[in-house]
Chains A and B, each alone.
Chain A
Amino acid sequence: DQQVKQNSPSLSVQEGRISILNCDYTNSMFDYFLWYKKYPAEGPTFLISISSIKDKNEDGRFTVFLNKSAKHLSLHIVPSQPGDSAVYFCAAPRQGNLIFGKGTKLSVKP
Chain B
Amino acid sequence: DAGVIQSPRHEVTEMGQEVTLRCKPISGHNSLFWYRQTMMRGLELLIYFNNNVPIDDSGMPEDRFSAKMPNASFSTLKIQPSEPRDSAVYFCATKTQVGNTEAFFGQGTRLTVV
Q: Specify whether A and B are partners.
A: yes
- Determine the chain B residues whose CB is within 8 A of the CB of A49 once the complex forms: 100, 102
For residue B4, which residue of chain A has the nearest CB?
A43
**B107 touching A42, Cβ below 8 Å:** yes
Interface residues of A in 96-110 (CB under 8 A from B): 96-103
**B100 touching A32, Cβ below 8 Å:** yes
Give which listed residue, B31, B48, B93, B107, contacts A41 with CB less than 8 A: B107
Number of A-B contacts (CB under 8 A): 57
Which of B11-19, B38-46, B69-77 lies at the interface with chain A?
A: B38-46
- Please tell me the number of chain A residues within 8 Å of chain B, measured between CB atoms: 23
- Determine the chain B residues whose CB is within 8 A of the CB of A102 once the complex forms: 41-43
- Name B's A-contacting residues (CB within 8 A): 4, 31, 33, 35, 41-45, 48, 50, 55-56, 91, 93, 97, 100, 102-108
